[in-house]
Structure 1
């Protein structure tokens, strides 16, 4: 795990850099030097060596630098002079500092590896893999965390098979960091229980609201859209302040599954004085339903332009839903052209043939 953490696309260059620098210094010293001008630059070798590998590598490169310095000094007959002694001391000091830096870096890499292992375990618990085939649909999901080395964030999703049908949630927790992950865990835990127990999505939503009331502060909330797919050609939806799902018909027509009335996010439904509306939309064979978080539609490119999701849904034409979502995911990353600044989740449901 440590080795995989320390690897990077530029590591071969960094591993060769100390030797390249010392070779250049030695060449310049032999061609132009008088024994004092370039020799101190040999300390760059052990300094760069501390960027990769451990203490033995830094010590070995430092020893090589000392040997080269002594050899070149002998060539110029300056061994024992004050300038040469200072050069040897500086190389020794830089080597010692490089060894210490290597030890600290290796320790940090081990800690980072442990943290990533915990994050991956948390992902498996919180954001479980979605089955490729569940009830009447094929399913695929993609999750992008805004944290460079994280696997989880404030966005959430779940697909559960229940006696009432397949029930789905996609949501977005206000805020980022560990607090958002904790809130996502509360929502997912409550949904997994309520999805089996409650008669309809209103009951599931009420359970989520109750769980969040015990957890959130007065200024926090979670946007979410819940869906239920049964054996008929319709899908029931409840939207709590979340971007509306998109329906992609086999002929390429795209419909936004807008709720009949605006409902506040979870954690704030008490302000509305009633339940969020339950509504239905047709969902027949080969139809696709795309649920997503605002990290997708608010992703900007270098010119500040938002990602035009509805205009890019041609990417979902692939026969395999996994491949289709891969294509859309790749198109999103091409549009941004840099690491995204917000978590983003995409969940694709494709109605199977009867």
Structure 2
């Protein structure tokens, strides 16, 4: 209900805004005609007529802007002819002013249209890049059930610094969920560096700590290539996890990231806080060695890893969303159902007003006889677009 209500409210508000903008140039022309007809001939409403094409220019098509300018000119000519003043200097000056403003409106319309075309092209490129960097994971990897989501804060913003990846390696299933500082195509580039380094290191490094250090070095090389990234701009918060095959062991290295949650089949919940807090990747190279923490992940349990777009989502009163509190005691058939319920719940909490992207990755150890449904990963906006 929360998702549908948020989408319905946003759609209604957007429709009202569009109707108002569509009607505004007509209202300006009508108001100008009323003022001119109801007042003395020496009183001019030309500012109202001039405003009509200027308002239409950034929102209407070229043809609609031309029609608006033409309508404003026609009304002014008819009124001046009715007053018998069309041949006088002042009305002619007003008409010249309106023609000039209309020409300026057409120029503005052309600039806006070209800008919109360029922006649309950039968005397509950005979305394509994001989908290439964050490919859809299989629903079963190394015998584990997998579900992933990337949700953009806005329908027209598909690019951010959130990331996830999961691979089956000789050392078990390994995954990373992280958040690169920044937005835009530069953030996508950094995401690509981190995920590329993770996929390579996950196959080669015998320990999860070794994978984390490989990511450190990869990010340091990227900083040198880009002319140097300081400790404020070049960091990545991340959780790396490892689930060895045939074992109920769960290992985690947390580098300054929100704490993952382990949901048990009976509704119990654990917040997996690191034993020793660590700095984000890119800020802790050489400061101390990474140390993984170990937990037990029995059959039927699901690991949930997320970015701060979830844990820092606020409601209308400014209260943060607490995933542990909202999920405690609840039981889900599998990772996909967990993420569906979670994304609906956070929309209900925020009223659809979230301003940060969020990446979610859920990995479940199947209970006996459990099967994983087919699914897809979506990159969507808060209004469902």
The TM-score with structure 1 as length reference comes to 0.85
Pair 1:192–1:162, CA change in 2 (3 A): same
Q: In structure 1, the residue corresponding to 2:76 is in which secondary structure?
A: helix
The 1:24/1:319 distance shift into structure 2, 3 A limit, reads: farther
In the TM superposition, 1:318-333 aligns within 5 A as 319=333, 321-333=335-347
Check if 1:171 corresponds to 2:186.
no
Distance in 2 (CA, whole Å) between partners of 1:146 and 1:251 is: 33
Q: 2:95 aligned to 66, 70, 88, which one? A: 88
The answer to whether the 8 Å contact 2:238/2:257 transfers is yes
Q: Which residue of 1 aligns with 2:288?
A: 273
Quote how far apart the aligned CAs of 1:235 are.
2.5
Contact 2:126 2:185 in 1 (8 A): no
SS at the partner of 1:37? coil
What is the CA distance between 1:282 and its match in structure 2? 1.8
1:242 pairs with one of 257, 263, 277? 257
Q: Quick one: structure 1 residues 268 and 62, their matched pair in 2 at CA, closer, same or farther if it must change by over 3 Å?
A: closer
Unaligned runs of 5+ in 2: 1-13, 224-228, 369-385
Change in CA separation of 1:203 and 1:58 when aligned onto 2, cut-off 3 Å: same
Cα separation, 2, equivalents of 1:91 and 1:317 = 67
Q: 1:116 to 1:316 in 2, by over 3 A?
A: farther
Give SS of 2:166's match: strand
Evaluate the alpha carbon distance shift between residue 78 and residue 270 of structure 1 in structure 2; reply closer, same or farther with a 3 A threshold.
closer
Secondary structure class of the residue paired with 1:160: strand
Change beyond 3 A, Cα 1:314–1:332: same
Q: Secondary structure at the match of 1:182?
A: helix
Query: In structure 2, what is the Cα distance between the partners aligned to 1:244 and 1:126?
Result: 24
Contact map agreement 1:224 1:241 (CA 8 A) in 2: yes
How do 1:1-354 and structure 2 match up within 5 A?
9=15, 10-30=17-37, 32-37=38-43, 39-40=45-46, 41-145=48-152, 149-176=156-183, 178-216=185-223, 217=229, 219=231, 220-229=234-243, 230-285=245-300, 287-313=301-327, 317=331, 319=333, 321-337=335-351, 339-354=353-368
CA distance in 1, matches of 2:365, 2:178: 22
- Whole-Å Cα distance in 1 between the matches of residues 90 and 283 of structure 2? 73
Q: 1:45 to 1:133 in 2, by over 3 A?
A: same
> Compared with structure 1, are the counterparts of its residues 160 and 90 closer, same or farther at alpha carbon in structure 2 (3 Å cutoff)?
same
Worse-superposed segment, 195-204 or 58-67: 195-204
Q: Cα–Cα, structure 1 residues 51 and 322, in superposed 2: closer, same or farther, change >3 Å? A: farther
Which structure 1 residue ranges, 5 or more long, are not aligned?
Answer: 1-7
Deviates more, 1:311-320 or 1:247-256: 311-320
- Offset of 1:269 from its aligned partner? 4.2
Q: Distance in 2 between matches of 1:317 and 1:73?
A: 75
TM-score (norm 2): 0.79
Structure with larger RCO (C-alpha < 8 A, sep 6+): 2
Cα distance in structure 2, aligned partners of 1:316 and 1:84: 75
Aligned to 2:148, the other structure's residue is in SS state: strand
1:15-55 Cα deviation digits (max 9, x unpaired): 3322233234334544x234453541222221222132333
- What secondary structure sits across from 1:142 in the alignment? strand
Deviation of the 1:86 alpha carbon = 2.5
**TM-aligned CA deviation for residue 340 of structure 1:** 4.0
Equivalent-residue separation in structure 2 for 1:137 and 1:36 (angstroms): 82
For 1:249 and 1:278, how far apart are their aligned partners in 2?
Answer: 18
